[in-house]
Homo-oligomer: A and B are copies of this chain.
Amino acid sequence: VEAEHSPVEESTGFVRIVAFTDGVFAIAITLLVLSIDVPPGLPGSGLDDYLADSRGQVFAYFLSFAVIGRFWMGHHELYGMLRDFDRPLVVLNLVYLSLIVLIPFPTELLGTYGDRSESAVLYALVVGSAAAVGLFKVHYILRRGLVRPDALAAARRLPAQMWLPPTVFFASVPVALLSATLGELMWLGILLDPLRDRLSRRRPADAS
């Protein structure tokens, strides 16, 4: 990280931090499946009832897969712009990951008690906090000049694209206190929004 180091070493340290972070994302997204339980010893009709109930768990699984998948795509793009890490960024990245890795917990809560406001509030707080720390990370990276020169223009556009998700998730907290379902609909809106954005951005690329 200091000037006295050779470039090869730098890139090894850099590559290892990025690989560690990608690995944590891959594990967290895969652990989501463990939030779907299969209770042993159910009788015939009990299995049917369980499968009907488990729809909520499967919905929560796909919701969180989309949420962590979106976080990973943003993280993938951001780390492709970096030229270096400094030590505070490594710590900040661990704080960020501690919130990403926590997501399977509110996911299981939401899948099991999806109609309860408590579940929706906790889910919104964890995902909103992860998104807020992610936004703070971009500000830090820009302020400390850790972006590659050729990616600077793209990196400076990121904060304007990233303030919406934490805002919506935090704004859904009071809504979820009234109705868990209404809060969840707000999250789906924010998850589908980048899809629309991406489809509209694709057209000029096709034309070129």
Contacts and interface: CB of A to CB of B under 8 A. Distances in A.
B94 A17 contact: no
A118 interface: yes
B17 A76 contact: yes
Interface in A40-90: 40, 42, 44, 47-48, 51, 58, 61-62, 65-66, 69, 72-73, 76, 80, 87-88, 90
Given A34-B34, A91-B198, A94-B69, A20 B25 contact: yes
A40 to B, nearest CB: 6
A12 interface: yes
A12 B80 contact: yes
Interface in A132-166: 150-151
A-side binding surface: helix, strand, loop or mixed? helix
A34 to B, nearest CB: 7
A42 B28 CA distance: 26
A195 B91 contact: yes
Contacts of A112: 38, 40
Interface string A91-121: 1001001100111110011001100101000
Given A51-B122, A62-B98, A69-B98, 16 more contacts: A5-B150, A9-B80, A17-B76, A20-B76, A23-B23, A23-B27, A24-B26, A29-B101, A31-B33, A33-B102, A34-B34, A38-B105, A39-B40, A47-B113, A58-B102, A58-B105
Q: Which 9 A-B pairs have the closest CB atoms?
A: A23-B26, A27-B30, A38-B108, A69-B94, A65-B98, A36-B105, A24-B26, A33-B104, A13-B80
